[in-house]
Amino acid sequence: MDSIIKVNNVFKSYWRNNLEIPVLSDLSLVVNEGEFLALMGPSGSGKTTLLNLIAGIDRPTQGEIIVAGTDIAKLNESSLAKWRAEHVGFVFQFYNLIPVLTAYENVELPLLLTKLSKAERRKHVETALSIVGLSDRMNHYPGQLSGGQEQRVAIARAIVTDPTILVADEPTGDLDKKSAAEILTLMERLNKEFKKTIVMVTHDPHAAEKASRQLHLEKGELVGV
């Protein structure tokens, strides 16, 4: 199986009040195409930071991150934004839908950056919403949906552009058990049925069990690889 993500000797640190706080130290990781990887670890272990680096929404202090053949650490801001639009689908813990847009319009958002026609966009949005089982809620606003439904809309938004990788930061962290189970089943389906490469950060061991591989981070280092 080909590798789709290569994290090579990455260091990441933040500065707070002139004090350098190391988060990731000399971290290396390979994720294969079609893999469902769960990143686990205690709070402050650096798992979200690693996810943000892989998704190209943060930059490493040192090292290289190669996703789908591109060293994203070397891209400038506008190239990185374009790269994210083409290659990454992001699912957040708190859904992060735009409240003034309907489910349909939220899912359509990433497609506005493409050259697709209105009819083509409609087709893509309807497909994505049918995959997550929300075809009948497309004209609802986020405030009119349950937490589980909101997260499914967020997943539809993440997959609508058919991205290379899907990254999810605690996707079930804000949901009840039933909704969490639905979301995990959906992600499992995306991985198995649609061959999506997924990197998921989670605290929940039950959620991690759905992944094909689990990695643990502690103090910025992978343990028990």
* Nearest distance from C-beta of residue 212 to other proteins, angstroms: 25
Rank residues 108 and 182 by Cβ distance to other proteins and give the closer one: 108
* Nearest distance from C-beta of residue 192 to other proteins, angstroms: 26
Rank residues 64 and 83 by Cβ distance to other proteins and give the closer one: 83
> Which single residue is written with the structure tokens 């997260």?
151
Q: How many secondary structure helices (H) and strands (E) does the chain include?
A: 7, 10
* Structure token digits, residue 102: 């309907």
68, 88 Cβ separation under 8 angstroms = no
Rank residues 118 and 178 by Cβ distance to other proteins and give the closer one: 118
Beta pairing, strands 213-218 & 221-223: antiparallel
> Which single residue is written with the structure tokens 């500065």?
15
What residue ranges bind other proteins (CB under 8 A)? 52, 55, 57-58, 77-78, 81-86, 90, 92, 96, 98-101, 105, 108-110, 112-113, 157
Enumerate the β-bridge partners of residue 11. Answer: 62
Q: Burial level of 193, CB count in 10 A (0-12/13-18/19+)?
A: exposed
* Nearest distance from C-beta of residue 109 to other proteins, angstroms: 6
Rank residues 21 and 112 by Cβ distance to other proteins and give the closer one: 112
Rank residues 27 and 210 by Cβ distance to other proteins and give the closer one: 27
Neighbours of 143 (CB within 10 A): 9
* Nearest distance from C-beta of residue 118 to other proteins, angstroms: 9
* Nearest distance from C-beta of residue 214 to other proteins, angstroms: 24
Residue 17: CB partners within 8 Å, gap ≥ 6?
none
